[in-house]
């Protein structure tokens, strides 16, 4: 029942044009996945602007991530009426094998890179924090599944179309 | 309004800014608007407060912060009472200024807290006043923003980043409320500056870009220049820096070196490509291009377009790529020719290969301590690979290359044009920073989506190391340097899937191993021998077995004389080189520059292997000219100049100038020549005549004289059979040869014969060799022919055990009989004797005017002789001869002698004139060819033409005197006995005399020779038939 209600609310929200740009930034500050998940009309100019905002927000996230143990950092940055929310994952690096810890509380330090997080960043104009948080959590789960793929080189671009479909479905559901 | 927001001034100046005329006027008008008393009183107080604030400003201007502070305090109090928030905030701001001026240079946390607190109040009150004075025509927003920025600037430190960011974000939010675009511009400039100070480069870049966009909205050249400059500052954050401004390339280099030396850790590779915000990068570059075009800076435009095209061509449509190309061309038109730009455009260039010296001019390290100085030198030629290299693998990967002053060198590079337009590279040449190399430019045109390997050449001009980091390219009107390292990085990234695309693979070029530039050093001039085969450098086409002289001309094309030279052979079929004139080379040294030496080399074409598939094919299509590169032998000439250069005699002795190696392949194309179909042994038996005079024997008893030396005997090469001797036991070797070629062959056979041995104490001393020539046989094309080779002169004079050697001993030891003797004869012994025999027979051929050679028929003859070699080589144990005895003189017909020669000159023939009805005294000669005494019972038979015995029986036509059968004689070893008898012929006609003997107590040798089957079988010796012609009347 709850599921149906959620769907309804999502459907209602669809009526108003929302902007949402989702991006996954690897620990090397490279975007490894980008998606415009908003329902607003997509203009190329706007899409560029979204990426610029997200790119700029990395500076703030970089500092902020070390001041809190929370994974979900809401409204870390904003420009005009667009808000950046970030979900910071903790990734442990073991030589010879890249292993991902799902649990929030283990913050492990890597010797080589001082930034060890992969960041899921969402640029949005809605204030639906809970929805965003759920969205992040589910996408994180998907991302871990990608990481577990032995053929995936951590830090390289995510090209899986399955992942893309899933993310867009989640965006429709929660945002 | 515009002047109220001058950001960029220093704090001091800002603090002393007075409200402008219009602001003051507006404020007074508000004051005058109030009517009631309280309002009048309030207005009076308000005016006083404002006056106090103004006085405070003047005090501050006059340089008295203490006085200013006093006035400001009054003003604050008054403004607070009257609710004049705007002036309250202003006075408070002034008091902060006064406080800071008072404590100039001090920085303590308390003061900072105070300033922060007061400024927050200031900002709050400016905002309040904004709401309060909504009707006000003057917006207080600018004041609020300005105060925010001032506070942010005051706090701008890393540890307070969070607060500063919040302030700046608030300020940025306020920008939307600003109506004037230039105000917003100035605000963004300040925000960007503060973010930059804070170390937030990406944030700073973001706001800088906003500034640039605002500039670009103005239709103004100066604004465009500003936009361009502001954007140029963002390039670093977006990783699209022009190489001219970047110092990052150095760090990149260090990083790459690290990767090269260490393990290629995946993560660090990923780290190399952290600038993957391609969308942003493209947008920024596009904006830089746009602004620089508008600003009229062609070089900046060219650089931006080049970076855009080079880095992001896979994301740009072909139309966009062409647009960029034309932008490059247009920009270049405005540039002076010969302009250089730090940012390379297209094409992509990678090192394809570094050709080592061709084998003609290979350089060999010289070992001065040894005479054979090339031995042990590091192999530098191709195909020399050892999996067990001495050095560390890292070192061996970095090869050493030596270049020589004045000798052109080549480097292969691969160019790729992954874009959809034709790329014309006006000139490309190697970029050499060491300055001791003259590079030759060439021009290339690359069709869309194509890659090309080109050869770049140049000449080293002075001694020293040469480094080649890349190529200099003149393309799209601008000169750029393309570094190999950049493309290597790119390809590395492409291999990891981190870069958009591999420009070479998308052009269809195969993946190449990463080629590293070797360590190149230039050495002083060396001699250079150039070889040249006289009569053309093409392959000599030879038939199998053909012998030909080849002249190789070696010329010194260098500028240094050749002082040492050594020739050796290498490669396959080395034994086909019969002779090399080493002496000619030695005597020609030193070869001065420009001099030539001609070396004759004799080569003999080898046999085409039967297993050779090419040859198998060639059998069907004869004349197919198959020349396998690998099968030709090579002459290797090691040569070197003087040990020390005349001019540089004082140089350290350790550095001996290297020598060189010249490899001259003796290009031989072997064609299938005559092929021998089969060889077989024939025998020819013609009985001899018995006469009173006999042909002179080949050798008289004991072989002491030699008749063959007479010149007449050697010139006439026909096989002649003397009628008085017959040809009993003459064997002929028949070779069937076919000529599958398209030329005519002439065959000549020559047989080498060791002259009859002089038996001195049974040791053979003199081995004179005589050659017998036979007439030539001509074989036309596509025909087969048979060549007969008489196998004479081969018989040994003595039959003894040496031929049978050990087996004989073995046989005796085991008491086996002679029947198994021949079977047990070892193959090796037999083969050795056959080989010896074969080596004496030479079948030479000649075709046309100048090709001649020798036929390889060993196998064929061997097969033919395998079974009957004993018959050819070994003499019969006994030889018989008949002769007429007349007038007391003895004329012997010695026939069937093992060493008889049919090559007799025309002797004065004397017909045996035997008359019927006349007693004819005759004698039989029996020669023992063994080394043992033979006892036998000899018998002589006479047969008539019909083959009937004419001595005994019903129709005997011969009367006889003397014993003709069962004659017991003993013949001492190697001697002969005579037995006299007489014949009386009754009927004239032709008769045949036959001698036969049964040997008593034969030894093993005789049994073996006779090939007896059972041990009890008597050994029976039979002489050849002799013809007798009896004349007369019946």
pLDDT in tens, B234-255: 877 777 777 766 554 444 443 4
The answer to whether the CB of B963 falls within 8 A of the CB of B914 is no
Contact A155 B270 (CB under 8 A): yes
The answer to whether the CB of B904 falls within 8 A of the CB of B736 is no
Contact A79 B172 (CB under 8 A): yes
Q: How far apart are CA A33 and CA A51, in angstroms?
A: 12
Q: What percent of chain B has pLDDT over 90?
A: 0
Contact A112 B267 (CB under 8 A): yes
Average pLDDT over residues B875-887: 73
The pLDDT score that the predictor gives to residue B432 is: 83
B280 touches chain A (CB under 8 A): yes
The pLDDT score that the predictor gives to residue B407 is: 79
| pLDDT of residue B263 exceeding 60 | no
Residues with Cβ within 8 Å of residue B67, at least 6 apart in sequence: B56, B59
Alpha-carbon separation of residue B87 from B11, B19, B25, B93, B794 (angstroms): 19, 10, 14, 10, 142
The pLDDT score that the predictor gives to residue B376 is: 56
**Residue of chain A nearest B173, judged by CA positions:** A80
Dihedral angle computed from the Cα positions of residues B74, B76, B80 and B81, in that order, rounded to the nearest 10 degrees: 10
| pLDDT of residue A164 exceeding 80 | yes
The tokens of B548 are what?
């030909």
Specify the pTM: 0.60
Q: How far apart are CA B595 and CA B554, in angstroms?
A: 8
A152 touches chain B (CB under 8 A): no
Identify which has the larger pLDDT, B25 or B849: B849
pLDDT digits (tens, 9 = 90+) for B285-313: 888 888 888 888 888 888 888 888 887 88
Q: How many domains does chain A have?
A: 1
Burial status of residue B254 (CB atoms within 10 A of its CB: 0-12, 13-18, 19 or more): exposed
| pLDDT of residue B16 exceeding 60 | no
The tokens of B710 are what?
């007479």
| pLDDT of residue B398 exceeding 70 | no
- Low-confidence winner among B127-136, B496-505, B1018-1027 (lowest mean pLDDT): B127-136
- Low-confidence winner among A31-40, B731-740, B847-856 (lowest mean pLDDT): B847-856
- Of the residues B169, B197, B200, the best mutation for testing chain A's interface (the one with the most A CB atoms within 10 Å of its CB) is B200
| pLDDT of residue A118 exceeding 80 | no
**Residue of chain A nearest B202, judged by CA positions:** A56
The pLDDT score that the predictor gives to residue B512 is: 63
Alpha-helix runs per DSSP H in chain A: 2-15, 44-64, 129-148, 161-174
Q: Looking up tokens 């405005």, which residue turns up?
A: B334
The chain-wide mean pLDDT, for chain B, equals 70
Among B63, B68, B67, CA closest to B90: B68
| pLDDT of residue B555 exceeding 70 | yes
A60 touches chain B (CB under 8 A): yes
Average pLDDT over residues B877-898: 57
Q: What percent of chain B has pLDDT over 70?
A: 66
Q: Where are the beta strands (DSSP E) in B605-658?
A: 633-640
Q: How far apart are CA B114 and CA B106, in angstroms?
A: 13
- Low-confidence winner among B20-29, B194-203, B215-224, B768-777 (lowest mean pLDDT): B20-29
**If phi over 0 gives left and psi between -120 and 50 gives alpha, with beta otherwise, what is residue B703?**
left
| pLDDT of residue B953 exceeding 80 | no
Coil vs helix vs strand at B336? coil
Q: How far apart are CA B175 and CA B777, in angstroms?
A: 113
The tokens of B611 are what?
């297993």
**Residue of chain A nearest B494, judged by CA positions:** A156
- Of the residues B198, B203, B315, the best mutation for testing chain A's interface (the one with the most A CB atoms within 10 Å of its CB) is B203
Alpha-carbon separation of residue B105 from B14, B100, B102, B111, B874 (angstroms): 18, 8, 9, 11, 129
The tokens of B911 are what?
């017909």
The H-or-E segment that residue B310 falls in is helix B298-312
User: Between β-strands B400-404 and B519-523, what pairing exists: parallel, antiparallel or unpaired?
Assistant: parallel
The pLDDT score that the predictor gives to residue B250 is: 44
Chain B residues touching A78 at Cβ < 8 A: 169, 173
Identify which has the larger pLDDT, B175 or B57: B57
Among B939, B995, B426, CA closest to B690: B995
B539 touches chain A (CB under 8 A): no
Q: How far apart are CA B751 and CA B731, in angstroms?
A: 14
The pLDDT score that the predictor gives to residue B723 is: 59
Nearest-CA distance from A51 to chain B in Å?
7
A66 touches chain B (CB under 8 A): no
Average pLDDT over residues B369-375: 65
Q: How far apart are CA B735 and CA B779, in angstroms?
A: 12
Which residues 481-500 of B have a C-beta within 8 angstroms of A? 496-498
- Reported confidence tier of residue B198, pLDDT bands at 50, 70, 90: confident
| pLDDT of residue B641 exceeding 80 | no
Residues with Cβ within 8 Å of residue B594, at least 6 apart in sequence: B555, B556, B557
The H-or-E segment that residue B318 falls in is helix B318-334
The answer to whether the CB of B737 falls within 8 A of the CB of B680 is no
Domain housing A139: 17-89+116-174
Average pLDDT over residues B767-789: 68
The pLDDT score that the predictor gives to residue B505 is: 73
The pLDDT score that the predictor gives to residue B715 is: 36
B176 touches chain A (CB under 8 A): yes
**If phi over 0 gives left and psi between -120 and 50 gives alpha, with beta otherwise, what is residue B419?**
beta
Nearest-CA distance from B237 to chain A in Å?
9
Q: How far apart are CA B892 and CA B169, in angstroms?
A: 141
Q: How far apart are CA B227 and CA B243, in angstroms?
A: 20
The tokens of B915 are what?
């008359």
- Reported confidence tier of residue B932, pLDDT bands at 50, 70, 90: confident
Chain B residues touching A43 at Cβ < 8 A: none
- Comparing CB atoms, the residue among A28, A47, A58 nearest residue B202 is A58
Nearest-CA distance from A163 to chain B in Å?
18
Dihedral angle computed from the Cα positions of residues B49, B54, B60 and B66, in that order, rounded to the nearest 10 degrees: -20
A80 touches chain B (CB under 8 A): yes
Q: How far apart are CA B455 and CA B452, in angstroms?
A: 10
B405 touches chain A (CB under 8 A): no
B586-589 LR contacts (CB < 8 Å, sep 24+) = B589/B562, B589/B563, B589/B564, B589/B565
Structural domain includes residue A106: no
| pLDDT of residue B724 exceeding 50 | yes
Cα three-residue angle B740-B534-B598, rounded to 5 degrees: 130
CATH code assigned at A149: 3.30.450.70
Spell out the CATH class of B344-369+399-523. Answer: mainly beta
Coil vs helix vs strand at B235? coil
pLDDT digits (tens, 9 = 90+) for B658-667: 777 777 777 7
Q: Could you tell me the sign of the dihedral formed by the alpha carbons of B587, B591, B597, B601, in that order?
A: positive
Contact B162 A67 (CB under 8 A): yes
The chain-wide mean pLDDT, for chain A, equals 70
- Reported confidence tier of residue B1026, pLDDT bands at 50, 70, 90: confident
- Return the number of other C-beta atoms located less than 10 Å from residue B324's C-beta: 27
- Reported confidence tier of residue B197, pLDDT bands at 50, 70, 90: confident
Q: Kindly calculate the radius of gyration of chain B based on its CA atoms and give it in whole angstroms.
A: 57
**Residue of chain A nearest B275, judged by CA positions:** A30
Structural domain includes residue A151: yes
Of the CA atoms within 13 Å of residue B766, those in its CB half-sphere come to 12
Structural domain includes residue A78: yes
Structural domain includes residue A104: no
Average pLDDT over residues B941-960: 74
Q: How far apart are CA A143 and CA A33, in angstroms?
A: 10
pLDDT digits (tens, 9 = 90+) for A123-136: 887 777 888 888 88
Tell me whether the CATH fold assigned to B344-369+399-523 matches the one assigned to B880-886+911-1031.
yes
The pLDDT score that the predictor gives to residue B570 is: 76
Nearest-CA distance from A23 to chain B in Å?
11
The answer to whether the CB of B133 falls within 8 A of the CB of B86 is yes
DSSP bridge partners of B992: B943, B1027
The pLDDT score that the predictor gives to residue A10 is: 41
User: Between β-strands B450-460 and B529-533, what pairing exists: parallel, antiparallel or unpaired?
Assistant: unpaired
Fold category of B880-886+911-1031 in CATH: Immunoglobulin-like (2.60.40)
Q: How far apart are CA B207 and CA B231, in angstroms?
A: 10
| pLDDT of residue B597 exceeding 70 | yes
The pLDDT score that the predictor gives to residue B546 is: 77
The pLDDT score that the predictor gives to residue B796 is: 62
Q: Could you tell me the sign of the dihedral formed by the alpha carbons of B715, B721, B722, B727, in that order?
A: positive
Coil vs helix vs strand at B72? helix
Identify which has the larger pLDDT, B564 or B763: B564
**Residue of chain A nearest B158, judged by CA positions:** A63
Average pLDDT over residues B672-697: 66
Of the CA atoms within 13 Å of residue A162, those in its CB half-sphere come to 4
Identify which has the larger pLDDT, B924 or B713: B924
DSSP bridge partners of B845: B747, B853
| pLDDT of residue A1 exceeding 70 | no
Cα three-residue angle B561-B564-B568, rounded to 5 degrees: 130
- Of the residues A21, A55, A57, the best mutation for testing chain B's interface (the one with the most B CB atoms within 10 Å of its CB) is A55
The H-or-E segment that residue B164 falls in is helix B161-174
Residues with Cβ within 8 Å of residue B68, at least 6 apart in sequence: B56, B57, B59, B60, B94, B95, B97, B98, B101
Contact A28 B271 (CB under 8 A): yes
**Residue of chain B nearest A94, judged by CA positions:** B267
Residues with Cβ within 8 Å of residue B33, at least 6 apart in sequence: none
- Comparing CB atoms, the residue among B161, B267, B280 nearest residue A51 is B280
Contact B273 A30 (CB under 8 A): yes
- Comparing CB atoms, the residue among B209, B267, B498 nearest residue A52 is B209
The pLDDT score that the predictor gives to residue B898 is: 37
- Low-confidence winner among A38-42, B117-121, B328-332, B422-426 (lowest mean pLDDT): A38-42
- Return the number of other C-beta atoms located less than 10 Å from residue B436's C-beta: 16
Identify which has the larger pLDDT, B444 or B575: B444
The structural domains of chain B, with segments of one domain joined by +, span: 200-248+276-334, 344-369+399-523, 733-753+770-798+825-873, 880-886+911-1031
| pLDDT of residue B441 exceeding 80 | yes
DSSP bridge partners of B714: none
The pLDDT score that the predictor gives to residue B871 is: 66
Nearest-CA distance from A8 to chain B in Å?
34
What are φ and ψ of residue B803, in 5° steps?
Answer: -70, -35
Q: How far apart are CA B214 and CA B212, in angstroms?
A: 5
Structural domain includes residue A94: no
The tokens of B378 are what?
């590091």
Q: Looking up tokens 């009526």, which residue turns up?
A: A15
Average pLDDT over residues B548-571: 80
- Reported confidence tier of residue B264, pLDDT bands at 50, 70, 90: very low
| pLDDT of residue B59 exceeding 80 | yes
The pLDDT score that the predictor gives to residue B702 is: 35
The tokens of B782 are what?
């596509």
Identify which has the larger pLDDT, B416 or A10: B416
- Comparing CB atoms, the residue among A30, A63, A153 nearest residue B266 is A153
Q: How far apart are CA B269 and CA B497, in angstroms?
A: 11
Average pLDDT over residues A139-160: 82
DSSP bridge partners of B846: B746, B852
DSSP bridge partners of A32: none
Contact B173 A78 (CB under 8 A): yes
- Reported confidence tier of residue B823, pLDDT bands at 50, 70, 90: very low
- Comparing CB atoms, the residue among B172, B173, B277 nearest residue A51 is B277
Among B320, B317, B286, B318, CA closest to B304: B286
Average pLDDT over residues B382-394: 44
ipTM of the complex: 0.78
Size of interface A-B (CB pairs under 8 A): 78
The pLDDT score that the predictor gives to residue A109 is: 35
Coil vs helix vs strand at B507? helix
The pLDDT score that the predictor gives to residue B531 is: 79
Chain A residues touching B262 at Cβ < 8 A: none
């Amino acid at each position: 029942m709850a599921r149906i209600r959620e769907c309804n609310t999502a459907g209602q929200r669809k009526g108003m044009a929302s902007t949402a740009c989702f991006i996954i930034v690897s620990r090397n500050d490279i975007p490894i996945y980008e998606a415009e998940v908003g329902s607003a009309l997509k203009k190329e100019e706007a899409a560029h602007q979204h990426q610029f905002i997200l790119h700029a927000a990395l500076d703030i996230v970089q500092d902020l991530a070390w001041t809190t143990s929370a994974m979900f950092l809401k409204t870390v940055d904003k420009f005009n009426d667009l808000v950046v929310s970030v979900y910071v994952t903790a990734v442990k690096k073991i030589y010879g094998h890249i292993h991902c810890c799902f649990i929030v509380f283990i913050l492990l330090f890597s010797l080589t890179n001082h930034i060890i997080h992969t960041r899921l960043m969402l640029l949005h104009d809605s204030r639906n924090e809970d929805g965003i948080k759920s969205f992040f959590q589910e996408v994180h789960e998907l991302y871990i599944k990608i990481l577990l793929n032995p053929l995936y080189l951590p830090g390289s671009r995510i090209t899986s179309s399955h992942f893309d479909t899933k993310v867009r479905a989640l965006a429709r559901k929660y945002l | 309004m515009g002047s109220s927001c001058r950001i960029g001034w220093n704090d001091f100046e800002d603090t002393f800014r007075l409200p402008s005329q219009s602001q003051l006027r507006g404020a007074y008008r508000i004051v005058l608007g109030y009517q009631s008393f309280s309002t009048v009183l309030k207005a009076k107080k308000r005016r006083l407060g404002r006056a106090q604030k103004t006085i405070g400003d003047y005090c501050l201007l006059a340089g008295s912060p203490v006085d200013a502070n006093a006035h400001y305090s009054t003003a604050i109090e008054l403004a607070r009472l009257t609710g004049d928030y705007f002036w309250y905030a202003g006075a408070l701001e002034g008091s902060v200024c006064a406080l800071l001026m008072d404590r100039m240079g001090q920085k303590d946390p308390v003061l900072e807290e105070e300033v922060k607190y007061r400024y927050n109040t200031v900002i709050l009150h400016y905002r309040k006043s904004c709401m309060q004075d909504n009707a006000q025509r003057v917006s207080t927003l600018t004041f609020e923003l300005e105060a925010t920025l001032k506070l942010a600037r005051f706090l701008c430190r890393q540890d307070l980043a969070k607060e500063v960011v919040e302030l700046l974000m608030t300020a940025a939010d306020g920008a939307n409320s600003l109506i004037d675009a230039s105000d917003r511009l100035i605000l963004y400039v300040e925000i960007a500056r503060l973010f930059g100070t804070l170390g937030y480069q990406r944030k700073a870049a973001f706001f800088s870009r906003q500034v640039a966009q605002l500039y670009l909205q103005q239709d103004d050249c100066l604004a465009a220049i500003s936009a361009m400059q502001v954007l140029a500052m963002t390039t670093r954050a977006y990783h699209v820096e022009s190489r001219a401004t970047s110092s990052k390339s150095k760090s990149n280099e260090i990083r790459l070196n690290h990767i090269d030396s260490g393990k290629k850790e995946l993560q660090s590779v990923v780290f190399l490509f952290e600038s993957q915000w391609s969308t942003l990068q493209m947008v920024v570059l596009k904006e830089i291009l746009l602004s620089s075009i508008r600003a009229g800076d062609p070089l900046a435009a060219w650089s931006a377009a080049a970076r855009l095209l080079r880095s992001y061509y896979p994301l740009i449509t072909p139309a966009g790529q062409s647009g960029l190309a034309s932008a490059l061309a247009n920009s270049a038109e405005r540039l002076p020719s010969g302009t250089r730009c730090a940012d390379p455009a297209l094409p992509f260039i990678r090192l394809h290969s570094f050709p080592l010296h061709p084998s003609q001019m290979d350089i060999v390290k010289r070992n001065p301590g040894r005479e054979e100085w090339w031995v042990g030198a590091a192999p530098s030629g191709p195909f020399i690979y050892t999996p067990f290299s001495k050095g560390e693998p890292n070192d061996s990967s970095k090869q050493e290359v030596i270049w020589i002053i004045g000798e052109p060198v080549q480097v292969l590079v691969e160019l790729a044009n992954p874009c959809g337009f034709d790329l014309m590279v006006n000139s490309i040449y190697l970029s050499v920073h060491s300055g001791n190399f003259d590079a030759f430019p060439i021009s290339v045109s690359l069709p869309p989506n194509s890659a090309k390997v080109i050869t770049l050449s140049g000449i080293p001009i002075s001694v020293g190391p040469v480094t080649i980091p890349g190529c200099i390219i003149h393309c799209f009107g601008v000169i750029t340097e393309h570094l190999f390292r950049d493309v290597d990085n790119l390809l590395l990234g492409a291999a990891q899937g981190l870069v958009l695309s591999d420009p070479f693979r998308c052009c269809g070029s195969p993946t190449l191993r990463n080629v590293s530039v070797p360590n190149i050093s230039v050495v002083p001039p060396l001699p250079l021998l150039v070889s040249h085969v006289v009569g053309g450098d093409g392959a000599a086409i030879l038939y199998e077995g053909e012998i030909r002289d080849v002249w190789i001309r070696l010329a010194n094309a260098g500028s240094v004389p050749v002082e040492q030279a050594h020739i050796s052979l290498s490669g396959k079929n080395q034994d086909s080189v019969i002779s090399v004139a080493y002496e000619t080379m030695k005597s020609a040294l030193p070869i001065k520059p420009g001099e030539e030496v001609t070396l004759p080399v004799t080569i003999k074409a080898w046999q085409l292997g039967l297993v050779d598939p090419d040859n198998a094919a060639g059998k069907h299509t004869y004349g197919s000219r198959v020349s396998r590169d690998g099968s030709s032998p090579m002459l290797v000439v090691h040569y070197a100049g003087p040990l020390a250069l005349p001019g540089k005699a004082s140089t350290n002795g350790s550095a001996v100038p290297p020598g060189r190696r010249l490899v001259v392949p003796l290009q031989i194309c072997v064609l299938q020549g005559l092929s021998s179909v089969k060889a077989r042994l024939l025998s020819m038996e013609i009985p001899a005549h018995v006469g009173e005079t006999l042909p002179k024997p080949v050798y008289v008893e004991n072989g002491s004289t030699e008749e063959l030396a007479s010149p007449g005997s050697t010139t006439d090469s026909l096989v002649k059979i003397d009628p008085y001797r017959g040809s009993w036991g003459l064997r002929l070797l028949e070779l069937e040869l076919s000529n599958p070629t398209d030329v005519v062959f002439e065959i000549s056979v020559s047989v080498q014969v060791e002259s009859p041995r002089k038996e001195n104490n049974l040791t053979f001393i003199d081995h004179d060799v005589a050659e017998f020539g036979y007439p030539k046989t001509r074989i036309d094309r596509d025909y087969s022919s048979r060549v007969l080779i008489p196998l004479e002169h081969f018989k040994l004079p003595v039959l003894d055990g040496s031929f049978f050697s050990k087996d004989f001993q073995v046989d005796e030891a085991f008491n086996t009989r002679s029947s198994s003797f021949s079977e047990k004869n070892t193959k090796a012994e037999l083969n050795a004797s056959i080989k010896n025999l074969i080596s004496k027979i030479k079948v030479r051929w000649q075709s046309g005017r100048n090709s001649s050679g020798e036929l390889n028929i060993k196998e064929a003859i061997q097969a033919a002789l395998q079974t009957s070699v004993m018959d050819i080589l070994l003499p019969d144990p006994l030889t018989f001869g008949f002769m007429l005895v007349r007038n007391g003189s003895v004329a012997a017909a010695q026939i069937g002698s093992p060493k008889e020669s049919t090559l007799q000159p025309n002797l004065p023939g004397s017909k045996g004139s035997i008359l019927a009805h006349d007693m004819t005294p005759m004698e039989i000669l029996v020669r023992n060819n063994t080394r043992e005494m033979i006892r036998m019972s000899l018998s002589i038979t006479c047969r008539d033409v019909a083959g009937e015995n004419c001595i005994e029986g019903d129709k005997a036509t011969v009367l006889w005197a003397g014993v003709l059968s069962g004659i017991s004689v003993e013949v001492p070893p190697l001697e002969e006995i005579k037995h006299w008898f007489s014949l009386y012929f009754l009927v004239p006609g032709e008769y045949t005399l036959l001698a036969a003997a049964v040997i008593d107590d034969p030894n093993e040798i005789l049994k073996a020779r006779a090939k007896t089957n059972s041990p009890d079988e008597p050994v029976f010796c039979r002489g050849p038939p002799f013809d007798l012609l009896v004349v007369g009347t019946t």
